[in-house]
Amino acid sequence: MFELIKNNTRLSNIDSLLDSLINDTVHNNNYLNYYYSDDESYYYIDLALPGFDKKEINLNINGDFLYLNFESENKKTNKFWNKSFKQRYRLPKNINSDNIEAELKNGILSIKIQKDKEESNFKTINIK
């Protein structure tokens, strides 16, 4: 007899906006918050990993890349939820891959990478 049409009110617009914000934040967040700095001897990377244990994190280096992988399964009141992430970071050429330190403290993964002493390619050419 009558067709019901959903009224497009401000409230429904707010609901759809909140849904999209929540979905974008939770499901499509492909990057981690991080801070990068360096000094004469080291590169420093701090990554925000709240809620993770160091046993859940794998940190590897291969060539010019630092690989960060983590996966966790938690039980909360008879419900399961998983969190996992894989990320790759390009490293500078002048690093000492044998001297890399990492520490997880208060949800922050701090990575310290020693710089290699750069050999200068500067040479003097004698003129004959």
Domain ranges of the chain: 31-115
State residue 121's pLDDT score. Answer: 62
Inter-residue contact 99 to 111 (CB < 8 Å): no
Range of weakest confidence among 16-30, 36-50, 92-106, 114-128: 16-30
State residue 112's pLDDT score. Answer: 94
% of residues, the chain, pLDDT over 90: 15
State residue 79's pLDDT score. Answer: 58
Q: What is the mean pLDDT of residues 40-51?
A: 89
CATH architecture type of domain 31-115: Sandwich (2.60)
CA–CA gap between residue 12 and residue 10 (Å, rounded): 5
State residue 46's pLDDT score. Answer: 92
Q: pTM score, two decimals?
A: 0.62
User: Which two three-digit tokens encode residue 99?
Assistant: 């001297």
